[in-house]
Every structure is written in C-alpha cells, then in structure tokens.
C-alpha cells in the first residue's frame, strides 16, 4: 500500500515525509482493518514530525484523524462489520488496569498507544486499529468534514469541558485554527460569548463569521473580563496575557500537547484563585459525547483538501497559518 513514511524527525520545510510502498497491515485479535478515505492534518502531526514530541516509533506513518470503511475484522470483533464507516482518533489503546484507567482517566494512562505516533497512522491507504477505540461516524457528515472532528473537535470539546465555562459565560480563545473553529460552534450552541485573540486576519474573519463577539491580535486584551479562556496556539508567551484577561476565579486551559517555554510572570496574575490547567489527550467518552453534540448542532468544518503525495505541503501550510479551518488529506487521490 502507499503511505507517507517518516524515517527521522526533521523540520517540515525539508519535506521529510516520503510516499512509498509498505506492507498492508493485518488486523490482529480485537482489531479492524480500515480502508482510509481521508485523514485530517493536525498540529500534533507537526510536533511528531519535527521531533518536538520524542520519537516513539521509527519509521512511523503519522496521521490520526482517519475516516474510512472497515475492510476486514480481526478475531473477537463484534462492534462493527465490514463496510461500516468509522473514524480512528489519537487515542489508540490503553492498558485498562493502571490507576488512571481504573479512575476513569484513561487519557492519562501510563501505557497508552497513540495513532500516528506509537502506532502507524492514517497518512496511508490502510490502517489497523483496536475496535474498542474506533468511532462510528454520524451520517450527516461527509468524509472530509468528519475528519477534523476526530482530534481538533474532540480536544476542543474536552478543553471546553475543563474550562468550566457555563451558559451565558464569557470565553476567550487564543489562536483560531482547526480546533478553535469547531469549539466556537459548540460554545455558541451553549449560549457562551466568545472573544478571539489570534494573529492572522483571515482567522479573525472566520472567527467573526462563526459568532465571535470580538477579535484582536494574539496578545490583545479582550474588552471584558473573561470567565475562562483556552489557549489553542502552542506559544507559551500567551499564558500571561490569558491570565491577565481572566476575572478572579477564572480558568485558563492549555489545549496543546506541546508548548514553547512559558515566561516568568508576576504572582498577581495568578492570584485571585485563577487556575491554569492543561489538556492531556482525551477519553473515549469525550469522543462519543462530542460526536453526538456535533451531529445535533450540526458542526460545519471548513476544510482544504490535499492529495496524499502533497502531505508535506499541507503540513507546511499548517505551520505557516495558511489553512482556513482544517487541512484534510484525500488518501484516495494521490
């Protein structure tokens, strides 16, 4: 099968992914074989490719927002049948027995597997995945519009939950890429006022189109005190600005898996029982709950399509904030 293979982490500007022939995976016990139709492009893929996340598998096929159809079943699989349309997301498996799994915090599992990082991902014609970690895709979404829901959407949803925002509240977004453009639709559905700080005027325009009450540059202060804010951009220098924008008792949620160094700041920014918390992966329940809400709204994702052999170009565009919404790889089109 054709796949984008990463042999060694390198700057995306060097185009380190190579489309090559690799053996098609076989579904082992409890696994399904998925014929990939599309795979969303995520900033986490950049962190894997550029080595900001330490290598866990080499070579590896990145990509973890997979939409496709089940082609074959491993032994013991009962949740799905061949032909079903499914999604494969970042969380690919847990041990089920560690203290975190037993406490309902499987996103913190000490021995978790992650699609496109510790196991081969979706920048390929086929992927094998554990059936218990595969999602049914709601019928109302096309393949290309469903793909960003599987990480950008789920992580944005978990970030909203952890922010503690309530209906009628005032919520800030820092950065407005794939995750934020989905999360704002959930927030508006919950009757939350959203204020967006982001550096790119095109992203500011999209935020206003999706219901933001105010937009400004990355470090601009919103015109009101915020009940909560979410930092989607992987830039540590935003943290002090986000804290400054919060009312007393507010929560600043950091949505990324990697962030540049957070600069020192005065304790006064944190004082007043303000909270800073990170988001680490997601649980399967987050995914199921989000996909249900996404179908109810329904969420509309802005997507830009790239063929498989232009995956490097898609990731370069993502790194340079040149994507309106989310990039999606059309694996059927090489």
168 and 209 share a domain?
Answer: yes
User: Are 234 and 254 within 8 A, CB to CB?
Assistant: no
Give 90-145 pLDDT, tens digit per residue: 999 999 999 999 999 999 999 999 999 999 999 999 999 999 999 999 999 999 99
141 and 10 share a domain?
Answer: yes
Supply the DSSP symbol for 310.
G
92 and 173 share a domain?
Answer: no
Q: What is the DSSP string of 25-63?
A: P---TTEEEEEEEEEE--HHHHHHHTTSSPP-SSSB---
Domain that holds residue 74: 2-152+281-330
Shortest CA distance to 296 belongs to which of 151, 206, 132, 186? Answer: 186
User: What pLDDT score does 51 carry?
Assistant: 97
Dist CA 185 CA 158 (whole Å): 14
Q: Mean of the pLDDT values across residues 283-307?
A: 97
Query: Residue 293: which region, alpha, beta or left (left: phi > 0; alpha: psi -120 to 50)?
Result: alpha
pTM: 0.95
Dist CA 24 CA 173 (whole Å): 41
148 and 169 share a domain?
Answer: no
Is the model's pLDDT at 234 over the cut of 90? yes
Give 29-76 pLDDT, tens digit per residue: 999 999 999 999 999 999 999 999 999 999 999 999 999 999 999 999
Consecutive H or E run containing 173: strand 170-174
CATH number at residue 97: 3.90.180.10
Residue 272 has which token pair? 């007043």
Give 136-172 pLDDT, tens digit per residue: 999 999 999 999 999 999 999 999 999 999 999 999 9
Pairing of strands 31-40, 126-130: antiparallel
127 and 52 share a domain?
Answer: yes
138 and 225 share a domain?
Answer: no
163 and 50 share a domain?
Answer: no
127 and 204 share a domain?
Answer: no
CATH number at residue 264: 3.40.50.720
Question: Using 50, 70 and 90 to split pLDDT, how confident is the model at 334?
Answer: low
136 and 157 share a domain?
Answer: no
Q: For residue 43, how many other CB atoms are within 10 A of its CB?
A: 23
């Amino acid at each position: 099968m054709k796949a984008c293979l990463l042999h060694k982490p390198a700057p995306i500007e060097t185009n380190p992914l190579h489309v090559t022939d690799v053996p098609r995976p076989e579904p082992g016990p409890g696994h399904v074989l998925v014929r990939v139709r599309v795979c969303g492009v995520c900033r986490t893929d950049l962190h894997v490719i550029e080595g900001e996340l330490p290598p866990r598998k080499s070579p590896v096929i990145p990509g973890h927002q997979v939409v496709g159809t089940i082609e074959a079943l491993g032994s013991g699989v009962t949740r799905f049948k061949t032909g079903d349309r499914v999604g494969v997301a970042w969380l690919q498996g847990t041990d089920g027995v560690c203290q975190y799994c037993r406490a309902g915090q499987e996103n913190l599992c000490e021995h978790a597997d992650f699609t496109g990082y510790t196991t081969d991902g979706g920048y390929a014609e086929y992927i094998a995945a554990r059936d218990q970690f595969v999602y049914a895709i709601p019928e109302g979404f096309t393949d290309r519009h469903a793909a960003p829901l599987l990480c950008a959407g789920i992580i944005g949803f978990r970030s909203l939950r952890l922010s503690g925002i309530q209906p009628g509240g005032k919520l800030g977004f820092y950065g407005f890429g794939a995750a934020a453009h989905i999360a704002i639709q959930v927030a508006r559905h919950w009757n939350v006022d959203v204020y967006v700080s982001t550096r790119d005027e095109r992203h500011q325009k999209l935020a206003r189109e999706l219901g933001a009450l105010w937009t400004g540059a990355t470090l601009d202060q919103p015109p009101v005190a915020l009940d909560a804010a979410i930092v989607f951009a992987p830039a540590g220098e935003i943290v002090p600005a986000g804290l400054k924008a919060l009312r007393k008792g507010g929560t600043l949620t950091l949505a990324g898996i990697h962030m540049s160094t957070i600069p020192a700041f005065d304790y006064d920014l944190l004082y007043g029982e303000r909270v800073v918390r990170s988001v680490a992966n997601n649980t399967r329940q987050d995914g199921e709950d989000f996909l249900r809400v996404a179908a109810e709204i329904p969420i509309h994702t802005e997507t830009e399509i790239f063929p498989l052999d232009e995956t490097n170009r898609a990731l370069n565009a993502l790194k340079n904030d040149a994507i309106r919404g989310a990039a999606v790889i059309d694996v059927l089109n090489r």
